[in-house]
Structure 1
C-alpha cells in the first residue's frame, strides 16, 4: 500500500468514528497524531499546529505563516489555513483563525491531553474530550508493521554493534557513539528524516544498571556484573526497541539465578500474551511470580508498554491498565530485577500480538550463554582506547 492510500484510510477510519460518537469534527493538536494523519514533519516550538477532521468535508490544517509554503507539499487533500504569529495581534492569532472555522460546529472532539491554554481559547458549543486517534494507533496496519519491522532490524544491528564492541574497561561513551554508524547507513540509503528519527545505543554498566532511568557518566566503564544494553530507535516515524543484560566475565551462581528468574518471568509474560487478554492480568501474574521468588523489593516497573510511532505509548502492560490486547498490537516485554549497588537484569523486545499468541519483531539472542562474552576483538579494544584518548576519558 502506498503512503497516500494509508493516510486516506486513516482519515476515513477517524471520520467513521466521528459519526459513531456523534461529533461534527475532531481537533488534533498532538505532534505525533498530526504526523499519523498527514505525514508532515515539523517542530512546533511555541507555535501550535492543528488538524481539524470533519465528518464529511476534507481536513483543515491550521499552521503558522512561517510553515505554510513548505506544507503545500502535503500528500493528502486538505485545506491549509495560516495564522500570523505566536503571539499575534487581534484577528491574527491561531485561535482567531480556528474559531472562525469551528463556529459552525455543534459538538467537537479533542484529545484528553490537549494543553489547557489551547483548550480554553477554542470556542465551540460542546467540547468532548476523547482519544480517538490514540485508540486507532494501538492496532497496526500492514503498512505500519512493515515500517516497524524495518526499524527492529536496525535495533538488532545496533545491539550487535554494542555487544561486539564491549570489553572490560570500555567507557559508556563508546556505546553512545555507535548510533552514528546507524545514522550513516540510513543517510546512505536515503532513509533518514532528521525530524522523525532518533537513535540511541547505550549501556548501563553494573552497578548503575540497577537504576534503569539513570544517566550513566560518559566515563563510566564496563566491567563485571550485569551490564544492560539498549538499542532504542525511531526511524522515519516508527519505533522499536531491544535491550539485553550481558556479562563480560563468566557470571557467578547468584548472577545466573537472577538472570534465570528474569527469563522465567519474561517467558511467563510471553505465554500469557494473546488477543482478548487483559494487559493488567499479564503484569499481575508476572509480579506475583517474582514476589513468590523473593523479589518483592527488586522490581521497579511494569512488564511493558505499547510501541508504534513512539517508543512508549498505549497499550500499557501494567496492573492499572484498562487495555485489552488485540491482534496486530505491538508491545515491549521487559520484566526486570534490580539490586542496589550491584546491578540490574532486564531484556526487552518488540513483540507482535498474533492471532493465537505473539512473536518477536526484534530477534537478538537472549540466552545467558549468548549474553556472556569471553573472547574479545583486539582491534575493537584498540579502537575503543583511541576513542577514550580523543575524548580524554582515559
Structure 2
C-alpha cells in the first residue's frame, strides 16, 4: 500500500473499474500514466496493477528508483518489455488483462498476444487513466500553480531583453535559462519565439531571424515542475504597432475575457470555444483563428479536456486548461494570448 494518499486514491479508482471492465489487472504503458499512478519517473517502463499489488516493469537503468517505491514490486525486464509483462501476468495468475486503447502500438499489442504459451486474455478498456487525470486533486493544483507562477515571472521580465537585434533563437535560450534559474525541472516543451511574419504561424519553429523594430513577437512558454506543466503565451510589439495587429490584439483580448467569463461547472467545452470564435468572427477575423481555443494541462502539456468545436468534454471542478484565442495575418504577424484556468465550484480561477 502506497504511503502517498493521492496515489492510494488513484489506485483505488483504477481497481474499482476492474469488475465493470471484466478484468483482474490493468497494464499501464505510457510514462505519464505510470508516473500518475505510482510516482515512478523512469522511461521505457510499464506498470501492472492487480487487485492488491502493483508491479513496475523496468530495466537496470531505473532499478534503484523503482526499488525505492516500497509500495510497488519491481519486475526486471531482460528482453522485450511486452514479453516480460505478459510472462508476469501469467505467473501471477492474471486471466484477463486490461489495457488503455491509446497506449499500446499495434506491434506491442501483437507481441503481447503472440507470446509463447500465454493464456492471458487482453481486454481493451478505453482510456480510464487519461480520464482520471482530467480532474486534478489538491496536490496537483498546488504544483501546477507553482509552475504557472514561475512561468509568469519569467514572462514578466522578458521585455528586458525582447528587443530589436536579438534573434528568436537567442531569445528562446534566454527564456530557458531564466526558467532553470527560477528552479524548474525543465521546459515543458520547446519554447516558441516567433517574430514578424513568423508570428503568423500558430506553432512556429524558432529560427535565427533577428527581431526588428515594429515586429510583433509571440512567446509561448511552459515550465516542467515536479512532474507537472504550465503553458502561457504573450504577445509583444517592438516599437510602433501595426494598426491591424493593434486591432487584432484588442479583439483577441476581449474574446479571451468573454470565454473565461463563461466557464463554469457543467458547461460544454465546445460552447466555450464557440463564444470566443463567434466574437472573433463577428469582428472579421474568423478565418484567421486557426486552432481550438485550448487544451488541458497537467503531467502532459496537452491532455484532457479538449476545448474546441469538436470536443465532447463537459467541465467539472478540478479541470485545468488553457484559453488561447488568436488571430494570424499572413505576411504581417499574429496575436495569441494564453491563460491557464482552474474550474472551481462556481466558475473558474485564472492561474
- Distance in 2 between the 1:99 and 1:143 partners? 32
Match of 1:156 in 2: 152
**What secondary structure, in the 3-state scheme, does the structure 1 residue paired with 2:196 have?**
coil
**What secondary structure, in the 3-state scheme, does the structure 2 residue paired with 1:97 have?**
helix
State yes or no: 1:78 paired with 2:78. no
Please give the root-mean-square deviation of Cα atoms over the aligned residues, in Å.
2.3
State yes or no: 1:62 paired with 2:57. yes
Give a deviation string over 1:186-206, Cα, whole Å, max 9, x none: 2xxxx64x6xx6465442111
State yes or no: 1:110 paired with 2:100. yes
The question of whether the paired residues in 2 share the 8 Å contact of 1:158 and 1:201 is answered with: no
Distance 1:69 1:225, change over 3 A: closer
Give structure 1 stretches of 5+ with no counterpart: 362-394
**What secondary structure, in the 3-state scheme, does the structure 2 residue paired with 1:268 have?**
helix
Match of 1:144 in 2: 140
Match of 1:249 in 2: 239
Return 290-299 or 13-22, whichever deviates more.
13-22
Distance 1:232 1:223, change over 3 A: farther
Return 156-165 or 118-127, whichever deviates more.
118-127
**What secondary structure, in the 3-state scheme, does the structure 1 residue paired with 2:241 have?**
coil
Q: CA deviation at 1:154?
A: 0.9
- The match for 1:170 among 142, 161, 166 is 166
Distance 1:234 1:305, change over 3 A: same
**What secondary structure, in the 3-state scheme, does the structure 2 residue paired with 1:250 have?**
coil
The question of whether the paired residues in 2 share the 8 Å contact of 1:304 and 1:334 is answered with: yes
- Distance in 2 between the 1:119 and 1:8 partners? 28
- Distance in 2 between the 1:95 and 1:53 partners? 11
1:202-241 to 2 correspondences below 5 Å: 202-241=192-231
The question of whether the paired residues in 1 share the 8 Å contact of 2:23 and 2:123 is answered with: no
The question of whether the paired residues in 2 share the 8 Å contact of 1:275 and 1:325 is answered with: yes
Q: CA deviation at 1:96?
A: 5.2
- Distance in 2 between the 1:59 and 1:158 partners? 40
- Distance in 1 between the 2:60 and 2:235 partners? 49
**What secondary structure, in the 3-state scheme, does the structure 2 residue paired with 1:294 have?**
coil
Give a deviation string over 1:19-71, Cα, whole Å, max 9, x none: 44343121100010001111112232xxxx211122x2111222234433442
- Distance in 2 between the 1:316 and 1:114 partners? 22
State yes or no: 1:289 paired with 2:279. yes
State yes or no: 1:28 paired with 2:24. no
Q: CA deviation at 1:17?
A: 2.8
Match of 1:135 in 2: 131
- Distance in 1 between the 2:136 and 2:223 partners? 18
Return 309-318 or 62-71, whichever deviates more.
62-71
The question of whether the paired residues in 2 share the 8 Å contact of 1:210 and 1:340 is answered with: yes
- Distance in 1 between the 2:97 and 2:90 partners? 15
**What secondary structure, in the 3-state scheme, does the structure 2 residue paired with 1:319 have?**
coil
Match of 1:4 in 2: 4
- Distance in 2 between the 1:7 and 1:96 partners? 24
TM-score, normalised by the number of residues in structure 2: 0.90
The question of whether the paired residues in 2 share the 8 Å contact of 1:205 and 1:223 is answered with: no
- Distance in 1 between the 2:350 and 2:55 partners? 39
- Distance in 2 between the 1:149 and 1:101 partners? 43
Return 95-104 or 12-21, whichever deviates more.
95-104
**What secondary structure, in the 3-state scheme, does the structure 2 residue paired with 1:207 have?**
helix
- Distance in 1 between the 2:22 and 2:189 partners? 41
State yes or no: 1:15 paired with 2:15. yes
The question of whether the paired residues in 2 share the 8 Å contact of 1:27 and 1:111 is answered with: no
The question of whether the paired residues in 2 share the 8 Å contact of 1:28 and 1:111 is answered with: no
